[in-house]
C-alpha cells in the first residue's frame, strides 16, 4: 500500500499512525492512513487549476417557480438561515 501511495501525485503529504488497542493484541500492525484536512483545503485553494472555478455563493436549485431544498434544509440550521434572511 505504501508503494501505491508513493506513486500518487505530489501534494499534501499522507500521514500514517499506528493503531494500538489496549487489551487486544494485533497479529500485524494496524495503521490509519490520513491527510490533514486543513492542508488539503489550503492545497485546493492554492491550486491554479481550481482557482477560476471556486464559488462562494450558495447553490440554489429551482423547480419551476419553486426553490428545491435537500435534506440539509430539514434541520435547525436551515431554519436559522431562513429566519435571519
4-17 pLDDT, tens digit each = 666 766 778 888 89
Does pLDDT of 37 surpass 70? yes
Residues in the chain: 85
40-68 pLDDT, tens digit each = 888 888 888 887 787 777 667 788 888 87
Q: Which whole number is the average pLDDT over 11-32?
A: 87
Rounded to whole angstroms, how far apart are CA atoms 31 and 22? 15
Ramachandran region, residue 71 (left: φ > 0; alpha: ψ -120 to 50; beta: rest): alpha
Q: Which three cell numbers stand for residue 72?
A: 440539509
What pTM value is reported for the model? 0.47
Domain boundaries, the chain: 2-84
Amino acid at each position: 500500500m505504501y508503494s501505491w501511495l508513493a506513486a500518487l501525485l505530489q501534494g499534501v503529504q499522507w500521514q500514517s499512525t499506528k493503531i494500538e488497542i489496549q487489551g487486544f493484541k494485533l497479529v500485524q500492525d494496524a495503521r490509519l492512513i490520513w491527510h490533514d484536512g486543513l492542508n488539503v483545503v489550503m492545497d485546493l485553494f492554492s491550486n491554479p487549476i481550481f482557482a477560476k472555478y471556486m464559488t462562494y455563493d450558495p447553490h440554489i436549485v429551482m423547480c419551476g417557480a419553486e426553490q428545491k431544498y435537500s435534506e440539509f434544509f430539514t434541520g435547525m440550521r436551515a431554519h436559522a438561515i431562513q429566519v435571519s434572511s
